[in-house]
Structure 1
């Protein structure tokens, strides 16, 4: 890893200088989504196309994630409340300009399905913050595609 980032808590997802928030409703119940997010770390590469590989570290207290394009992250899980929230911060990365990063996946029951809200929270150099702002549309598309693919995957597992 190129550099260590500033350690932040789960509250950073509400206070970060850059917050990208995306939401989508899916048919899968919160429990199934939570298990896919928090317990099936290696499975992320099967439904989130940007993820090349993901593996748990420290007996599940952390993760190591590699993205297409070569970005790498060492993460610490900040919150894992079944059927409700899964959040983590990035402790080290090779992404230039990043100073602090955290993500939160919030799951809210809606009828028989779930509203999934993803918050991507960041701080960094001015150029890094600008780049994230221009990447908003692409990150939103990646989120929508990933959650849709995960929902289909979970539906086929239930069938």
Structure 2
């Protein structure tokens, strides 16, 4: 059964009780990374292994996401700044214990590429906070793998054009 979460805004990424922040440099330019994040929503499963389904909803104002293991999210886009920032909050999920969840992707030009920073900002029951903090290494690895795969995918598309 879907559970409604608190409707937090993008500022939650700086004030959440649990903040997991990961960053990695990629060779793709910010515009290409932003397009993959915000415009090619249905392409997420091809580069983020934990994501099995990602599709736009509400005419592009939201997303439906499914993860390996069956976790589902109904999300609302809370920030879409081309080539700089893409953020969404979870409105409904089947994950127990969560009260609020916002994810933000920040893009910063770095040489000829991009510094990609992902912030996972959450609130929940005491047990879920502990679980999320303990999951930091695994989430970090998932992020690094995803961004590396995305960079390879974007490089391949650049050479095809």
Give the TM-score normalised by the residue count of structure 1: 0.99
4+ runs deviating over 3 angstroms: none
| Partner in structure 1 of residue 113 of structure 2 | 113
How far 1:152 sits from its partner (Å)? 0.2
| Partner in structure 2 of residue 90 of structure 1 | 90
Q: Considering only aligned residues, what root-mean-square deviation do their CA atoms show, in Å?
A: 0.5
Partner of 2:155, secondary structure, is helix
| Partner in structure 1 of residue 21 of structure 2 | 21
Q: Is residue 59 from structure 1 mapped to residue 59 from structure 2 by the alignment?
A: yes
Deviations 1:114-138 (A, max 9, x none): 0000000000000000000110000
Aligned ranges 1:25-64 → 2 under 5 Å: 25-64=25-64
| Partner in structure 2 of residue 149 of structure 1 | 149
> Number of residues paired by the alignment?
159
How far 1:2 sits from its partner (Å)? 1.9
Deviations 1:122-159 (A, max 9, x none): 00000000000110000000000000000000000000
- Structure 2: distance between partners of 1:97 and 1:60: 28
Partner of 1:7, secondary structure, is coil
- Structure 1: distance between partners of 2:24 and 2:111: 14
Deviations 1:20-61 (A, max 9, x none): 000000000000000000000110000000000000000100
| Partner in structure 1 of residue 122 of structure 2 | 122
- Structure 2: distance between partners of 1:29 and 1:8: 30
- Structure 2: distance between partners of 1:27 and 1:90: 30
- Structure 2 unaligned runs (5+)? none
- Structure 2: distance between partners of 1:153 and 1:40: 12
- Structure 2: distance between partners of 1:14 and 1:37: 21
